[in-house]
Structure 1
C-alpha cells in the first residue's frame, strides 16, 4: 500500500463540486447501458437525474473487438429481454460514438451535472479522452487491467475506482499504480453480484477502506434490490453513492429490472441520504440547546421531601429527586447532606443553591 494513502483525509474536486470531509454525499446516477442505445432515452435519463438531485451521470463505453473474444460475441442471446440475436449484436446496439457522447456531456453540463464514462478498453479510453469528461471510472471488471488503469491515471483527472471481484492485494496494486501518476482518487466499495443478496453486500468493508485509505474519499457502488443498504453505507461514512438508474424497469436489457432504481426510488434514496448525512454529521457528545427545555421540565432536581426550616441540618430523609430539572442536580445529593438550610424550604419544592449554607 502506498504511504500516501494513509495521510489525513482530503477533498477531491470533480468539475465544480468537491468530494470529501464536510461535503454532501456525491450521488452518481449510473445510466450505464439503460439507454438501450437510444440517444433520446439517454437524454431523458440525464434530465431526470438532474431533476431528482443527482450530482453526476455516468455511462459506459466498449470497443467490442477489444473487450470480448469472438466466441463470446457470436453466442446467441436466448433471453426475452435481449436486444439482439447474438451477444455481439446486443452489445453493439448499446454503444454511442464520440459525437453522441459529446452531445450528452453538453446536455449534462447545461443541467449542472458532472459527466463521465467508464471505458472498458484502451481504444475506448483514447476516444473518451477527446470527449473532455469531468472524471474517469475504472469499473470492477477492469481493476486488474493495468494498462487501462495506467492510461486513465495519466490523464491527471479524478478517478473513481470500484473494488468488486478483487481481493485486498489486487486493490492495493491498482491504487499504487494510480498514485504513481495521480492522487485524485475516489475508491468505491463494490460487490459484483447482480443483484447482490444482503448477506453478500459486505458493507463493513466501507469502514475498512476508510481506515486503510484514509487520505481518499470512500464510496459505495451498490447492486442490491432497493436502497436500504445504500443508506447504511452513508451512515458508515461513504462519501459517494453510485446506483444504476432507469426510466422503466420493464424495458428490455439486463440491468433495468435487476439492479436499477426507477425515478421514484432514486428520488427517495436521495431524500433519505440527505436526511442521514445530517444525522451523522456531528460526532461530538454534548447537551444540545434544543434539549434544554425538555431537561428543565423532565430532568431531576433535589427536592425537599419535607419542610426544612432555616438553620436546620439537612438529612437524607429530608431530600428526594423529582422533576422539574432546573434546580440543583440530583448528583449533588451527597454534598447537600449535612449542610444547613439558609432559608425556610417548603415541602415538595425544588432546592436551590442559594437556599443552603455551603
Structure 2
C-alpha cells in the first residue's frame, strides 16, 4: 500500500515530500469575518500550506441542555454555551466567502467537521480534505460517514489510546486509503512532559502504510520542528494574532513571527535531513586536503629498512602522503629511499605499497 497520497490538489504528502503545514485558525477569529481573512493572509505570508477552521452545525453538535448551560468565564462570548458557540460560528455563506478569499490568496482552505451536518457542508463546498478532531477520533459512525465521502482525511489522536487508534485505522481502511493520523495531546497549552513525540515512531511502526503527523498545542516551535525531524509528514499548529486575546486556544497558539520561524525551521531541517548514505562529500574535500593527516617518519629511516610501528607517526603533513588510515598497511614493508625525521611517507617510496594497499 502507498505511504504517500495527494492530500490537496497537486500536493502529495508522505515519503520524501515536504511536511504539509496546517495553520489552525479554528475559532481564533473571534467571530469576525475580516479578522478571519487577515488570518488566512497571515498564514499564507508565513509559508503555511493550509488555513484551517472549525465548522459546526450547532443544533447537530450539541443537545438543548448543553446549549443552555451557563457559560460565564473570561473566555465567554455569551451567558450560555449556546450563545458563546453561535458567536464564533460562521454561516455557510461566510464560509464560502472565506474559501474564495483563500483561493485568491493562494493557500489551501479546509476545516474540522465537528458533526455530521458539517461533514456534508464541507463535502458540498469541495474542501480538499476533512479534519477529524481528537474529540471525534472514537466516533466510529462519524468516521465511517467521512471516509465514505472519499475525501482525504487528517485525524488527530488526542484523548485516545493506541488500541483505540488501531480501531480507527481499521475502520478507515475499509472505506478510504487516503488518511493520516496525527499524534496529539489535548491540553491547551500543553506541558512539554505531556507531548510524547515518541508516539510518532510507534505510529510509524503500527501504521506503516500511511503518513503520520503531529498536532501540537505546546509553547514555542522547537517541539514541532523535532516532530518533523522524527518523520511527521503533516504538522498542525494553532495560530493567532495575539496570545492574550479572549479565547481558550490563543495561549496555545503561535503568533505570526513564530509561525514564520516555524516554517523556516522546518524547511531548513528537511534540507538538513538529507540522505542516510554516508560518504565523503565534495564540500568536504578541501578540508580533507587541508586537515587530513598523513603518515610521517617518527625517526630518520634509511633506505632498505623494514617499517615498524615505532618508526611511524601521524600528522597533518605537507606534502600529503599516505593517509593515516593506511598506517598498518605499511608495517613489514621496505622503504626504497632515505626518509628524514618528520617527513611524509610517500606511496612511491614504499615497496609494493600501491599493489597491495589502498593508496
Tell me the CA shift for residue 298 of structure 1: 2.2
User: Unpaired segments of 5 or more residues in structure 1?
Assistant: 1-6
Q: Tell me if structure 1 keeps the 8 A contact 2:4–2:12.
A: no
TM-score by length of 2: 0.93
Tell me if 1:76 matches 2:66. no
Tell me if 1:114 matches 2:102. no
1:260-271 equivalence runs, <5 A: 260-271=253-264
Question: 83, 105, 112: which is aligned to 2:99?
Answer: 105
Q: Deviations over 1:31-63 (max 9, x none)?
A: 000111111111100001101100001111112
Tell me if 1:312 matches 2:327. no
Q: Tell me if structure 2 keeps the 8 A contact 1:309–1:345.
A: yes
> What is the match of residue 4 of structure 1?
none
How many equivalent residue pairs?
A: 351
Tell me if 1:290 matches 2:283. yes
Question: 2:307, 2:247 → 1: CA distance?
Answer: 81
Q: Tell me if structure 1 keeps the 8 A contact 2:152–2:178.
A: yes
Distance 1:324 1:97, change over 3 A: farther
Q: Deviations over 1:70-109 (max 9, x none)?
A: 3322222222232112211111111112211111111212
Q: Tell me if structure 2 keeps the 8 A contact 1:302–1:327.
A: yes
Question: 1:103, 1:281 → 2: CA distance?
Answer: 41
Tell me the CA shift for residue 242 of structure 1: 0.2
Structure 2 residue matching 1:275: 3-state secondary structure: helix
Question: 125, 128, 136: which is aligned to 1:134?
Answer: 128
> What is the match of residue 95 of structure 1?
89
Tell me if 1:208 matches 2:202. yes
Distance 1:281 1:317, change over 3 A: closer
Structure 1 residue matching 2:75: 3-state secondary structure: coil
Question: 1:143, 1:170 → 2: CA distance?
Answer: 9
1:138-157 equivalence runs, <5 A: 138-157=132-151
Structure 1 residue matching 2:34: 3-state secondary structure: helix
Question: 1:190, 1:226 → 2: CA distance?
Answer: 16
Q: Deviations over 1:325-349 (max 9, x none)?
A: 9421223223212211123333212
TM-score by length of 1: 0.93
Question: 1:335, 1:250 → 2: CA distance?
Answer: 69
Question: 2:288, 2:25 → 1: CA distance?
Answer: 50
Structure 1 residue matching 2:302: 3-state secondary structure: coil
Q: Tell me if structure 2 keeps the 8 A contact 1:297–1:324.
A: no
Q: Deviations over 1:214-260 (max 9, x none)?
A: 1111110001122221111111111111000111222211111x211
> What is the match of residue 355 of structure 2?
none
> What is the match of residue 191 of structure 2?
197
Question: 2:165, 2:263 → 1: CA distance?
Answer: 29
> What is the match of residue 316 of structure 2?
323
1:60-71 equivalence runs, <5 A: 60-71=54-65
Which is worse superposed, 332-341 or 44-53?
Answer: 332-341
Question: 2:8, 2:117 → 1: CA distance?
Answer: 24
Question: 2:174, 2:128 → 1: CA distance?
Answer: 20
User: Unpaired segments of 5 or more residues in structure 2?
Assistant: 353-359
Q: Which runs of 4+ in 1 moved over 4 A?
A: none
1:202-281 equivalence runs, <5 A: 202-256=196-250, 258-281=251-274
1:23-42 equivalence runs, <5 A: 23-42=17-36
> What is the match of residue 58 of structure 1?
52
Tell me the CA shift for residue 8 of structure 1: 5.5
